[in-house]
Chain A
């Protein structure tokens, strides 16, 4: 079957760096995505990794290791507005439909 695991909650302080991990089990893996969702809002796309390595977009970076079935989202210079839920999702199967993790709630404190 297919499954993803990510921590349910993470807490950090403003200005710090936080890493949200995601491990997955699947066959026919194509890539790992990350989405951000603020309270009461809609999920929005952050990043996609198809190949091993680190992808950087501003303060956010995403990493993938296909051999370890593992990825992470790295948030640097944390700001209060980064308080949100972060979902990892894998792109897998013949139809490449997204399979979602349960989300990690990030609280950024002053």
Chain B
């Protein structure tokens, strides 16, 4: 089984809908991250969490919210989806050993019409 899983893998939705993307990990890592990727813009950090009680905004948090339900689960919500949130979304985990080596889920391709 994969260490970092994301559901759904693909989602098409309409403008204004609320969407939740879920991430689970079995690596036992404390740190979890949500990124979005758009062509030519690399990986942009949306939110990150260093433990269950710690939530931090990344560089592009507007329009998004997160919930860290447990060490293994980190969900990303789009409260009212808009077309420019169409992107590939990745969840990642890491443990604090100085290198912050990150392990990524397979990604969720989200299309907002």
Q: Which of B15-23, B75-83, B93-101 contacts A (4 or more CB under 8 A)?
A: B93-101
Which residues on the B side are within 8 Å of A101 (C-beta)?
42
Which residues on the B side are within 8 Å of A91 (C-beta)?
98-100
Which residues on the A side are within 8 Å of B64 (C-beta)?
none
- Hey, what's the 0/1 contact readout for A2-33 against B, CB within 8 Å counting as 1? 00000010000000000000000000001101
- By secondary structure, the A interface counts as strand
- Once the chains bind, are A42 and B100 in contact (CB under 8 Å)? no
Within B19-40, which residues are at the interface with A (CB < 8 Å)? Answer: 40
- How close is B107's CB to chain A, nearest CB, in angstroms? 6
Within B44-84, which residues are at the interface with A (CB < 8 Å)? Answer: 45, 48, 50
- Once the chains bind, are A102 and B41 in contact (CB under 8 Å)? yes
CA distance A41 to B104 in the complex (A): 10
CA distance A86 to B96 in the complex (A): 23
- Once the chains bind, are B48 and A42 in contact (CB under 8 Å)? no
Closest A residue by C-beta to B109:
A40
- Hey, what's the 0/1 contact readout for A67-108 against B, CB within 8 Å counting as 1? 000000000000000000001000100011110111100000
> What total of chain A residues lie within 8 Å of the partner, measured CB to CB?
22
- Once the chains bind, are A43 and B98 in contact (CB under 8 Å)? no
Which residues on the A side are within 8 Å of B103 (C-beta)?
45
Which residues on the B side are within 8 Å of A100 (C-beta)?
42-43, 45
Given contacts A42-B105, A102-B40, 4 further A-B contacts (CB under 8 A): A31-B99, A33-B101, A35-B102, A48-B101
**A residues within 8 Å of B by Cβ?**
8, 30-31, 33, 35, 41-45, 48, 50, 87, 91, 95-98, 100-103
**B residues within 8 Å of A by Cβ?**
40-43, 45, 48, 50, 90, 92, 94, 96, 98-107
A-B contact pairs, 27 of them (CB 8 A): A33-B99, A33-B101, A41-B107, A42-B104, A42-B105, A42-B106, A43-B43, A43-B102, A44-B104, A45-B102, A45-B103, A48-B99, A48-B101, A50-B98, A95-B50, A96-B96, A96-B98, A96-B99, A97-B48, A98-B94, A98-B102, A100-B45, A101-B42, A102-B40, A102-B41, A102-B42, A103-B42
